């Protein structure tokens, strides 16, 4: 009997163990089938050709022997699926995103469900969310949900944590709140379309609530009336709102707060104005990014005696930090990105509990602090980007056994000198991340890589960039755990190790840019199966790209190979997000690069300055997520396909310097386009009106094409435009005054067209840099730079504060946009910060007429002004003396007149001044910048004189004063061309009137001819005396006596009888003076003074004054 019981017990035990073992090794069949149904649903939603979800769910196979508990994105416990992660799986799928939540019904033991970042608009399949009675954590962050879905969550009675951040939940938060979520402890409603504190009473039913996040909601005030949970709340996050210093007073009722997070608001006050006396239990205080000013005093933090974590980063505080030395319980301190200066106080050695110390991005100077030797509890130490100098040996940190993260770099031009090789030493710490950037690392030892790194087996991040290191030890690339490796901007040379991919299997980020590596890119790089970011730019790599780079590197998303000597065809990359291949020797066609649109996740493609040929294929429109497209400086031909407008997210489009023809297609779908480069092609037609839809357009470059017609009037709709380049086309007509509405313009080039009429005086309305000095709260950085941000790897700092990685805020790739603009007689390329401050106006080589508007002188910040090769007239406006920032002024080849205003000597930055080939007069100024100008600046002005022109001034008055010059300017403002035309017209009118009078009135006519006859007689007498004629034949004037003739004509006129034809013939005024020259005998005196005419005997001088026919 006992033996039977024992055997039964053993059998039961074995059966139970088998069941438990089976439960531990596999999931339930019902749940496995449920996962496969979810996979089928997700794959059915994705776009054709998108393989992202196939890769993410590749381990989910329909095989009974496959244990679903080891599938990706699945966690199990006791044979049941307890955690599912579906974040971002529906992000790339088609709209609308309605989730079928009935698919989750099989998972009765589910405790965590993550559906974040999927752009879900709602759900179908159940009236309410499925009754997952054991679900404790639900992640719905970063979707497109609104307040209508909240009531369907009431069935999740076991919920303790709910993430609803970054959705579209508004102030119409349902009044009853969550009546059944009695266990909810943490609620995140941040980033919800201007949600404000009016929803607080709706949360009174959450009796277990201790953590509330209302950040990212643009709240300007915080009212707590009607909220009964204020005394129980322990964690309150109001970060990233628009709150001011008064918020501290509003929160005095939250007496149980242990964590108060107020970073990135708009306090804009001194820390001393805040009263923290009510927060005696506060352990964590985050005030970063609040524009705090002033210094830090002891009194500012004296009430925070229990404070353990303090963050004051990203402010404008300055002075010393000695006030922090009394917070002896501090464990985490972040004062990075301020203006704290002087030396670091040694009293910080009193903070022996410090684990996190971030002093980066300040103005600390002097030698490296010695107090760090005493802070042996440190796990994180950042002295990154300060101005400290001198030598510092890492041996001083040898006993810091807890140290895991060490960041050091210097902004000092002299630099800091980090030493590690003075003596042989073995550190007690095992680092996880190390940054020694621009540290003159071991300069006295030949700039070698620290040997202690060969004993660091936990390294995940290593950045030794900008240290002039020249040798690459084998042990450095034999670290199987390293994920982030940056050796850029050093002096490495030679070939990359052929097996580098085998030795670094875990790398996700590798940057070897700006070195002197050469040869082929090793194909073994593709054995780095986790590699996502690879930068080999600015080297001397050559040969073709290994095909494995596209075929086998399935995780590679960021590839930067710019500025090498690579050649051959570009392989088809499938999963790429960012691809830089510019400035190489690649060939082939765009079909080779783009394929059939398989890589639809591509957001940036740069293949500029290669030898890509052929037409732009219509398949380019399949890249609907493209944001940056650079294909300039190739040999592309044909027309721009209309399908290019299928990329609605495009920010930058560069098709410049190709052989493209035809008209510019409709670009109305480019709602986010900021930069458009189409210059130096053969494009024709007029500018498409659809460009007017691009209200975000900031740069438009259409230079050197064959565009024609008038500059369109709709240009004023481009309100954000800063750079307009239309030079070298066939535009005609007048300059439209609508251009004057471009308030943000800084550079404008309308040169080398056929524009006529006058320069609009309203140009003064354009900024040309005037608004650069106006503070803009929305300004988030340079206009002409774009940074590609991507955290390369996740590092856990084990900190309660938000400790930022050093590369956060530092871009992985900076895009600096260039603008070509002619100034100082040369073409210059401006980019980055230089482009930000450059201003210029070029109207040269047109047919502009009229005077130069004096209002141009109001453009005080303009640096280059070119009005040359036009037909401008009048004086140089004296208002040009207001152009205080101008460096180049070209007015040559016009019809300008008057004097060069002496007031222009006030232009202290003027380097180029050209007024050659005008009609200027007087003496040019000779002081200031004008003292260095030479004759070449003034050539072609006959009226100019002075020492610069090697032409003496005779009876020329000095330059007038500003008042007289101003008066002279007003007197000479008459258009000379108009004057010439009016004078000629008047002369012709008077002459015709005179001839008409003579023909109608005989009396006046005869009086006029009598006067002419007297002139003839005088002329004959003059000839006789002047040339000493010895024999003069008598005048044979076929004309009656003048007095008698006048009397006869008067009498006939009185009788109103017309003269007979015979009388007219006898009285014709055909006067012939015939001189018979027999001999000419000049006297001896005449021979000495006047050379006699060589006339021979018998010659006749026939002076025929006039022949007029009387009507």
Domains in the chain: ranges and CATH: 700-772+819-969 (3.80.10.10), 1000-1104 (no CATH)
Nearest to 295 by CA among 280, 273, 311: 273
Is the pLDDT reported for residue 166 higher than 60?
yes
Say how far apart CA 610 and CA 583 lie, in whole Å.
Answer: 6
First CA to last CA distance, the chain: 165
CA distances from 126 to 100, 731, 1043 (A): 8, 63, 130
Q: Which of 360-364, 429-433, 707-711, 1080-1084 has the lowest mean pLDDT?
A: 1080-1084
3-state secondary structure of 89: coil
Residues 51-68: pLDDT tens digits?
788 888 889 998 888 899
Please tell me whether the overall predicted TM-score, pTM, comes out greater than 0.85 for this model: no
CB 461 within 8 A of CB 434: yes
- pLDDT grade, residue 472 (50/70/90)? confident
Considering the chain, what percentage of its residues have pLDDT values greater than 90?
Answer: 43
For residue 594, give the 3-state DSSP assignment.
Answer: helix
**Per-residue pLDDT tens over the stretch 199-247:** 888 888 899 999 999 999 989 999 888 888 888 999 999 999 999 999 9
pLDDT confidence of residue 1023: 60
Say if residue 978's pLDDT is above 80: no
| Beta carbons of 276 and 251 less than 8 angstroms apart | no
Q: What percent of the chain has pLDDT over 70?
A: 81
Q: Which of 267, 175, 248, 168 is nearest to 216 (CA)?
A: 168
Q: How confident is the model at residue 1017 (pLDDT cuts 50, 70, 90)?
A: confident
Which residues make Cβ contacts (< 8 Å) with residue 821, sequence separation at least 6? Answer: 725, 747, 749, 827, 828, 830, 838, 840, 842, 864
Tell me the average pLDDT across 990-994.
81
Cβ-proximal residues to 827 (8 Å cutoff; 6+ apart), any chain: 820, 821
| Range among 413-417, 724-728, 929-933 rated most confident | 724-728
Q: From CA 609, how far away is CA 632, in angstroms rounded?
A: 6
Residue, of 63 and 668, whose pLDDT is higher: 63
By the 8 A CB rule, do 247 and 223 touch? no
Is pLDDT above 50 for 1097? Answer: no
Query: What's 54's DSSP letter?
Result: H
- At 186 the pLDDT is 96
Structure tokens at 1061: 């034809």
Q: How many CA atoms lie within 13 A of 688 on its CB side?
A: 17
pLDDT of residue 445: 80
* Mean pLDDT for the chain overall: 82
Query: 572 with 596: CB under 8 angstroms?
Result: no
Among 296-310, 603-617, 637-651, 1053-1067, the minimum mean pLDDT is found in: 1053-1067
Instruction: Give the residue-averaged pLDDT of 939-951.
Output: 86
The residue-averaged pLDDT of 467-472 equals 87
For position 161, what pLDDT does the model report? Answer: 97
Kindly tell me if the per-residue pLDDT of 1054 is higher than 60: no
CB of 140 closer than 8 Å to CB of 119: no
Given a cut of 50, whether residue 1039 has pLDDT beyond it is no
User: Looking at the DSSP assignment, which residues form a beta bridge with residue 707?
Assistant: 685
Structure confidence at residue 243 (pLDDT): 94
Task: Return the pLDDT at 298.
Answer: 79
Q: Note whether 863 and 823 are within 8 A (CB).
A: yes
Which of 131-135, 172-176, 299-303, 1012-1016 shows the lowest per-residue confidence on average (mean pLDDT)?
A: 172-176
Mean pLDDT, to the nearest integer, of 306-323? 92
Residue 944 has pLDDT above 60, yes or no: yes
Q: What is the DSSP string of 737-764?
A: GGGGG-TT--EEE--SSEEES---GGGG
- Mention every residue, 6+ apart, whose C-beta is less than 8 A from residue 944: 920, 921, 922, 923, 924, 938, 951
Q: What angle, 0 to 180 degrees and rounded to 10, lies between the N-to-C axes of helices 1002-1027 and 976-1000? A: 110
User: How many residues are listed for the chain in this entry?
Assistant: 1111
Question: What are 416's two structure tokens?
Answer: 């800091």
As given in the structure block, the two tokens for residue 716 are 């004023």
Q: Above 70 in pLDDT, residue 411?
A: yes
d(C-alpha 472, C-alpha 462), whole Å: 14
Cα–chain-centroid distance for residue 940?
42
The C-alpha atoms of residue 413 and residue 222 are separated, in whole angstroms, by 47
């Amino acid at each position: 009997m006992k033996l039977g019981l024992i055997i039964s017990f053993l059998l039961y035990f074995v059966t139970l163990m088998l069941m438990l073992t089976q439960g531990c090794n596999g999931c339930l069949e019902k749940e496995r089938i449920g996962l496969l149904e979810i996979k089928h649903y997700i794959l059915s939603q994705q776009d054709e050709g998108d393989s992202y979800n196939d890769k993410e769910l590749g381990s989910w196979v329909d095989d009974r022997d496959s244990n679903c508990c080891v599938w990706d994105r699945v966690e199990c416990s006791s044979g049941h699926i307890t955690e599912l992660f579906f974040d971002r799986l529906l992000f790339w799928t088609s709209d609308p995103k309605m989730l079928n939540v009935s698919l989750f019904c099989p998972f009765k033991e589910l405790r965590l469900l993550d559906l974040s970042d999927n752009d879900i608009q709602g759900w179908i399949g159940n009236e309410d969310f499925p009754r997952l009675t054991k679900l404790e954590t639900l992640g719905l962050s970063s979707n497109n949900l609104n307040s209508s879905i909240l009531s369907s969550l009431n069935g999740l009675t076991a919920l303790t944590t709910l993430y609803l951040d970054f959705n579209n939940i508004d102030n119409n938060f349902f009044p009853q709140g969550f009546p059944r979520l009695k266990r909810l402890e943490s609620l995140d409603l941040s980033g919800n379309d201007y949600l404000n504190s009016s929803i607080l009473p709706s949360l009174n039913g959450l009796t277990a609530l201790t953590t509330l996040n209302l950040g990212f909601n643009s709240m300007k005030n915080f009212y707590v009336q009607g909220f009964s949970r204020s005394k129980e709340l322990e964690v309150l996050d109001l970060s990233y709102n628009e709150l001011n210093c008064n918020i501290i007073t509003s929160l005095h009722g939250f007496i149980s707060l242990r964590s108060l997070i107020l970073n990135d608001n708009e306090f804009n006050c001194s820390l001393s104005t805040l009263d923290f006396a009510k927060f005696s239990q506060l352990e964590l205080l985050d005030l970063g990014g609040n524009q705090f000013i002033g210094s830090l005093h002891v009194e500012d933090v004296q009430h925070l005696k229990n404070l353990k974590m303090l963050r004051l980063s990203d402010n404008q505080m300055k002075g010393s930090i000695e006030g922090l030395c009394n917070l002896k319980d501090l464990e985490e301190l972040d004062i990075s990105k301020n203006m704290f200066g002087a030396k670091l106080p040694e009293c910080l050695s009193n903070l022996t509990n410090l684990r996190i110390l971030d002093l980066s991005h300040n103005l600390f100077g002097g030698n490296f602090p010695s107090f760090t030797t005493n802070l042996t509890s440190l796990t994180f130490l950042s002295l990154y980007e300060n101005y400290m100098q001198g030598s510092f040996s890492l041996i001083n940190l040898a006993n810091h056994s807890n140290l895991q993260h060490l960041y050091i770099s210097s902004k000092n031009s002299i630099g800091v000198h980090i030493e590690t090789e003075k003596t042989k030493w073995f550190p007690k710490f095992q680092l996880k991340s190390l940054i020694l950037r621009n540290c003159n690392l071991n300069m006295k030892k030949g700039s070698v890589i620290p040997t202690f790194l060969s004993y660091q087996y936990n390294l995940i991040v290593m950045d030794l960039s900008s240290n002039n290191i020249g040798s690459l030890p084998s042990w450095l690339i034999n670290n199987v755990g390293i994920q982030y490796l940056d050796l850029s901007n050093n002096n490495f040379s030679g070939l990359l190790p052929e097996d580098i991919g085998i030795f670094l299997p875990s790398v996700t980020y590798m940057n070897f840019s700006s070195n002197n590596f050469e040869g082929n890119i090793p194909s073994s790089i593709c054995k780095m199966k986790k590699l996502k970011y690879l930068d080999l730019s600015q080297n001397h790599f050559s040969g073709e790209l290994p095909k494995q780079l596209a075929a086998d590197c399935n995780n590679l998303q960021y590839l930067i190979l710019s500025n090498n000597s690579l050649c051959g065809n570009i392989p088809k990359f499938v999963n790429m997000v960012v691809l830089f291949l510019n400035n190489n020797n690649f060939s082939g066609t765009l079909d080779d690069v783009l394929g059939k649109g398989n890589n639809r996740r591509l957001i940036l493609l740069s293949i500029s300055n290669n030898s890509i040929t052929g037409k732009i294929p219509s398949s380019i429109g399949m890249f609907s997520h493209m944001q940056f497209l650079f294909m300039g400086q190739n040999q592309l031909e044909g027309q721009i396909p209309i399908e290019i407008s299928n990329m609605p997210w495009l920010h930058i489009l560069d098709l410049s310097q190709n052989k493209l023809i035809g008209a510019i297609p409709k670009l109305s779908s480019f709602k986010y386009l900021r930069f458009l480069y189409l210059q130096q092609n053969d494009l024709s037609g007029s500018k498409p009106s659809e460009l007017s839809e691009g209200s975000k357009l900031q740069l438009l470059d259409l230079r050197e094409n064959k565009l024609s017609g008038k500059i369109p009037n709709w240009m004023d709709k481009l309100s954000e435009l800063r750079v307009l380049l239309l030079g070298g086309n066939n535009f005609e007509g007048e300059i439209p005054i609508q251009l004057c509405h471009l308030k943000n313009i800084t550079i404008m080039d309308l040169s080398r067209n056929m524009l006529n009429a006058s320069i609009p005086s309203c140009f003064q309305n354009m900024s040309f840099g005037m608004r650069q000095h106006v503070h803009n709260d929305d300004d988030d950085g340079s206009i002409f730079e774009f940074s590609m941000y991507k955290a390369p790897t996740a590092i856990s700092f084990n900190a309660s504060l938000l400790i930022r990685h050093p590369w956060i805020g530092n871009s992985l790739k900076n895009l600096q946009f260039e603008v070509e603009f002619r100034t100082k007689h040369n073409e210059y390329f401006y980019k980055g910060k230089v482009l930000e401050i450059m201003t210029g106006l070029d109207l040269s080589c047109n047919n502009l007429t009229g005077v130069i508007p004096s209002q141009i002188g109001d453009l005080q910040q303009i640096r280059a002004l070119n009005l040359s090769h036009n037909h401008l007239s009048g004086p140089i406006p004296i208002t040009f003396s207001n152009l205080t920032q101008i460096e180049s002024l070209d007015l040559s080849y016009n019809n300008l007149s008057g004097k060069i205003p002496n007031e222009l000597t006030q232009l202290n930055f003027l380097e180029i001044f050209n007024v050659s080939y005008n009609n200027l007069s007087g003496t040019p100024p000779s002081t200031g910048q004008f003292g260095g100008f030479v004759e070449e600046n003034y050539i072609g002005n006959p009226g100019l004189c002075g020492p610069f022109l090697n032409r003496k001034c005779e009876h020329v008055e000095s330059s007038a004063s500003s008042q007289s010059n101003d008066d002279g300017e007003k007197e000479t403002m008459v258009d000379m061309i108009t004057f010439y035309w009016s004078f000629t017209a008047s002369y012709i009118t008077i002459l015709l009137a005179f001839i008409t009078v003579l023909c109608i009135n005989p009396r006046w006519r005869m009086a006029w001819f009598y006067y002419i006859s007297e002139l003839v007689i005088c002329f004959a007498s003059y000839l006789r005396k002047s040339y000493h004629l010895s024999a003069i034949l008598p005048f044979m004037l076929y004309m009656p006596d003048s007095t008698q003739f006048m009397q006869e004509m008067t009498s006939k006129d009185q009788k109103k009888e017309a003269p007979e034809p015979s009388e007219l013939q006898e009285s014709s005024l055909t006067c012939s003076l015939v001189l018979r020259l027999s001999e000419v005998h000049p006297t001896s005196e005449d021979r000495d003074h006047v050379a006699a005419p060589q006339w021979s005997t018998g010659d006749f001088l026939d002076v025929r004054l006039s022949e007029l026919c009387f009507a």
